[in-house]
Structure 1
Amino acid sequence: MENLETIDFKINHFKEIYLSYEEYKRKSYAPTILLDFDDMLTLAHDILEREPGILNFYQKQYRYILTDESQDTSLIQHKIIEKIAKPQCNLFVVGDEDQAIYGFRGAAPQYLLEFKKTYPNAKIIAMTENFRSSEDIVKITNQFIKTNKKRYEKDMFTHNAKNKPIQISKFKTEQEQWDYLVQQLARTDDLSSVAIIYRNNASAIGLINKLDKHGIPFYLRDFKNRFFAHWVVEDVLNYLRFSYNDKNIAVLEKIHIKLNPFISKNDLELLKRADADVSSFVNLAKIHGDASKKAQGFLRLQRYFNQLNKLSPHQAIRFIREKLKYEESAERICNNLGYSFDNVKGILATLEYIAVGLETHQEFAFRLKELEKLMGDSKYNQDSNAVTLTTMHSAKGLELKGYT
């Protein structure tokens, strides 16, 4: 807690949020104190630090210790293990710094690179034979991983024969990439021997839309309903809803902070007492004085939402992004809260892609629901002739039929 001032979290008011959270845990259920997972680790470490009798008990209790997937272990977990393992240091650690992919969760693979500093007598054994992959894959991955300089020097090898050379294709747009994949899959008889690997599930929505339109079955390994519940998706749907009825204050409450001119909470309260049969924008103009600059801005929004209602789904999303300046508002929110604006732009681009060829806003909303259901139901395709879709995280250790 004393280091808060020295860390740049890229989130406005982070210190206040953190301190409020800690106070909530201490006081909200007093005298009971709430603990999260981080607390469990830090408290365990502090107890072992302060209480030599307890530490001695666990050192005797666990004379031999084994940790697996140690590249995914956090620094505090490493420190707890270190305390219990000493002084005998009967510690067997299995890990591979080349497989460290959980830094965003607090994993500290650098601890493995400094292992001999902590345990000077440790013996490091490199298991370099690959039993799964063909020579083609092992050779190129050896070259690729060496671009990472923070690793132990080692060369993987395999006694497996060559299979097929790895092909690399470059595309200017995601749509070109999806078209290529669909063409390749259309020529493939055994789809169950094919996997498509991507960064996150949001990256796959456009591809899934394409696969479904071409009748290509898929199995999604780690479906999570995050894309369709994302605030950006909800915002776009609420903009469309509000274009049908700009008297609906319940919908306006969900998007008001993204509109320009800005609509305050006080404005919303005044709207609730205004004429319910009149456009919210007309009522807002009256509240702020019809001749004022802000009032003219509200009347401009009324015209824009009337235009929005008449556009095709694809045109409507572009109109929301640009004419209604949603993208500017989203960027401001991302900067304030530390969200990824690139991720927001990616979601908006995906929504535009899904909307292509659809005629009504209702069709667009239905298509999103349809895609969500398709993704959820894909689990039933696991044992059928379907292409496997997976994130890089979920693909770790994955073995596919007929694939090396």
Structure 2
Amino acid sequence: MIDYFQRGLNNLTQNDLLNGMNDKQREAVVCTEGPLLIMAGAGSGKTRVLTHRVAYLIEHQNVNPWNILAITFTNKAAREMRERIDRLVEYGSEAVWVSTFHALCVRILRRDAEKVGFSKAFTIGSPSEQKTLMKHIVADTLNLDTKQYDPRSFLASISSWKNELIEPEEALLQANAEANPMEVAAARAYQIYQDELKKNQTMDFDDLIMKTIQLFESSPETLEFYQRKFRYIHVDEYQDTNEAQYRLVNMLAQGFRNLCVVGDADQSIYGWRGANMENILNFEKDYKDATVIKLEQNYRSTKTILQAANEVIEHNLNRKDKTLWTENESGDKITYYRADNAADEGYFVIKNIQKEIREKHRSYNDFAILYRTNAQSRTLEETFVKANIPYKLVGAHRFYDRKEIMDILAYLRLVANPDDSMSFARVVNEPKRGIGATSITKLQNFADMHGISLYEAGKSVDLTGIPARTAKKITEFCDMLKLFHQVQKQATITEMTEQILSITGYQKALNDANTLEAKGRLENLEEFLSVTKEFDENWDPEDEESDPFTDFLADLALVSDQDGVDQNDDVVTLMTLHAAKG
């Protein structure tokens, strides 16, 4: 094992590490003890400060890499931070925990989920599975009209409650007190939803943080373990944390109180999804001994843009005083064009892109178009198609949302967690096996009556009243899942996926169809196999706490829309302002 404290030569001397930084950036890097609030304006080099601070702790403060935690909001930001730290630190950077909030909680729960009543192989439910489950709850369990009581609205309410760490019982009490029929119905659905997730051994994204907090509250020794482990904690975009994320960070930081948060109240845009800007504004109240450092020098923008931004920001009511400045040149004036209609706006955008390409030899990937909501992209897309301009829509139909990919992932989830009834229901008749919706409903009713999963109900299918011919098909399906579970113990993800595609007949069904659509689906499955191969090559079999199937599925469940943006594609990027911020 490498001795980090006797390694002889550091990758960077302290002067090298701080070289090229302004005074405030240097101050933030070397201020390592106690609570630290870095108020970082846009383009002020906050990522550089964070990564150099981590490197400084390892290289010049003799801190063990595994005692450092850095939390960001997106996988892409986490990857960028990881790559920068790797370049700065000679040894041990791989031991630094750099992750999103959700990835951090998955890693913790994989170790101790049993303490909150879940298997370590729990499944992370996808948004589509959540919608399917909620639609079933609203229509079939609560006997409500899904047009009047929108399942998506219920899921949004549940997400808000979870972000505020409100349990179903408390949500129902609040709803009853307000005498709001819609909220009462949502609260009742919340309880049933949570019961169904538990039965499926599944958590949704909001559960990942909420259950980790419950784990820490119910198991002080587990919390103490992570408090001792994470001696130095860094949190990026602190202004966008919600109540659950705020609570998680503060619980972890109570051990050594070396908490460094970076953010800017002027950049808070996620209030609509539960972010509480007061978290950053109240940091000095939470930590009376906090040091506050402002990063106000901007390296990204021109003087003209900063002047405009500062004049807009001055109107914000709740903010800490800060003025961005730059040594960059004044630059061009900001152009404002008021279009007559959406089509006129689209043509104006295209005309300017074509002009820049023609006169300044720019590429399509030099351009991005931002809008407030996804619905606003339609007219722009139509205009781009007519003008034969290539574009990529961030937040559109993702690779992992395609039917064939969701099907194969459902099979893999069943391999890791046979009690995942949502995945069972998805693929019990994929490819077609002659198991109709009526039979699946009977099986579901039997499972509900006995409080068991669909897989367990399938093993007792003779007691369900399902016709013998269909019952035989269900038994064969359950036997196949049992076989997969045995094969999984010795197989890689790629080998297991290939076995599933072959034994289930999924691949044969697509080959037999011999349509352009089927060929496209086969190509997508080939692309999926390249993903599994990459995972197999990078997975560490020496990690005793790691399971390849649960790790692989968790990695894919945490993929975001922004992670699919390829910077090398020569296309114009279209996205919402919120996606761009992410």
TM (normalized to structure 2)?
0.38
What residue is the counterpart of 1:81 in the other structure? 249
When residues 22 and 210 of structure 1 are mapped into structure 2, their CA distance, relative to the original with a 3 A threshold, is same
Which deviates further from its counterpart, 40-49 or 73-82? 40-49
The 2-side partners of 1:173 and 1:152 are apart by 39
- 1:128-183 C-alpha deviation (Å, 9 max, x unpaired): 11111111111111111222222211001111112201022223422332232233
Where in structure 2 are the equivalents of 1:302-313 lying within 5 Å? Answer: none
When residues 191 and 205 of structure 1 are mapped into structure 2, their CA distance, relative to the original with a 3 A threshold, is farther
Equivalent residue for 1:187, pick from 342, 355, 373: 355
The letter for the 2-side match of 1:213 is K
What residue is the counterpart of 2:324 in the other structure? 156
The 2-side partners of 1:195 and 1:47 are apart by 42
1:144 paired to 2:334: no
1:40 paired to 2:225: no
When residues 29 and 119 of structure 1 are mapped into structure 2, their CA distance, relative to the original with a 3 A threshold, is closer
The 2-side partners of 1:34 and 1:133 are apart by 45
Q: Is the 8 A contact 1:135 1:162 kept in 2?
A: yes
The 2-side partners of 1:26 and 1:212 are apart by 47
Where in structure 2 are the equivalents of 1:247-326 lying within 5 Å? Answer: none
Where in structure 2 are the equivalents of 1:389-404 lying within 5 Å? Answer: 389-396=574-581
Aligned residue for 1:158, secondary structure, equals coil
The 2-side partners of 1:191 and 1:9 are apart by 56
Equivalent residue for 1:66, pick from 234, 240, 245: 234
When residues 50 and 223 of structure 1 are mapped into structure 2, their CA distance, relative to the original with a 3 A threshold, is closer
The 1-side partners of 2:296 and 2:566 are apart by 37
Aligned residues: 244
What residue is the counterpart of 1:334 in the other structure? none
Q: Is the 8 A contact 2:241 2:279 kept in 1?
A: no
Aligned residue for 1:171, secondary structure, equals coil
The letter for the 1-side match of 2:369 is I
- 1:156-215 C-alpha deviation (Å, 9 max, x unpaired): 111111220102222342233223223333433235333322123321111121122233
What residue is the counterpart of 1:101 in the other structure? 269
What residue is the counterpart of 2:377 in the other structure? 204
Q: Is the 8 A contact 1:26 1:33 kept in 2?
A: no
When residues 11 and 163 of structure 1 are mapped into structure 2, their CA distance, relative to the original with a 3 A threshold, is farther
The CA deviation at 1:25 is 3.4
The 2-side partners of 1:24 and 1:210 are apart by 43
The CA deviation at 1:99 is 2.1
When residues 24 and 137 of structure 1 are mapped into structure 2, their CA distance, relative to the original with a 3 A threshold, is closer
Equivalent residue for 1:224, pick from 368, 392, 396: 396
The letter for the 2-side match of 1:20 is A
Aligned residue for 1:59, secondary structure, equals helix
The 2-side partners of 1:191 and 1:85 are apart by 46
Which deviates further from its counterpart, 145-154 or 39-48? 39-48
Aligned residue for 1:66, secondary structure, equals strand
The letter for the 2-side match of 1:225 is H
What residue is the counterpart of 1:174 in the other structure? 342
The 2-side partners of 1:130 and 1:65 are apart by 25
What residue is the counterpart of 2:185 in the other structure? 16
The letter for the 2-side match of 1:23 is I
Larger radius of gyration: 1
Q: Is the 8 A contact 2:241 2:276 kept in 1?
A: yes
When residues 209 and 123 of structure 1 are mapped into structure 2, their CA distance, relative to the original with a 3 A threshold, is same
Aligned residue for 1:169, secondary structure, equals coil
The 1-side partners of 2:227 and 2:276 are apart by 23
What residue is the counterpart of 1:134 in the other structure? 302
The CA deviation at 1:10 is 12
- 1:206-234 C-alpha deviation (Å, 9 max, x unpaired): 1121122233x1322515139xx9xxxxx
Aligned residue for 2:291, secondary structure, equals coil
Equivalent residue for 2:290, pick from 122, 125, 129: 122
The 1-side partners of 2:256 and 2:325 are apart by 35
Aligned residue for 1:124, secondary structure, equals strand
When residues 218 and 11 of structure 1 are mapped into structure 2, their CA distance, relative to the original with a 3 A threshold, is farther
The letter for the 1-side match of 2:264 is D
The 2-side partners of 1:144 and 1:183 are apart by 28
The 2-side partners of 1:48 and 1:203 are apart by 43
Q: Is the 8 A contact 1:26 1:34 kept in 2?
A: no
Q: Is the 8 A contact 1:25 1:34 kept in 2?
A: no
The letter for the 2-side match of 1:171 is A
Aligned residue for 2:294, secondary structure, equals coil
When residues 88 and 140 of structure 1 are mapped into structure 2, their CA distance, relative to the original with a 3 A threshold, is same
When residues 11 and 168 of structure 1 are mapped into structure 2, their CA distance, relative to the original with a 3 A threshold, is farther
The 2-side partners of 1:219 and 1:125 are apart by 40
State the superposition RMSD in angstroms. 3.3
The letter for the 2-side match of 1:60 is R
- 1:42-84 C-alpha deviation (Å, 9 max, x unpaired): 3332343344333333322222211122223221111122122
Q: Identity of aligned pairs, percent?
A: 31
Which deviates further from its counterpart, 115-124 or 104-113? 104-113
Aligned residue for 2:292, secondary structure, equals coil
The 1-side partners of 2:206 and 2:179 are apart by 21
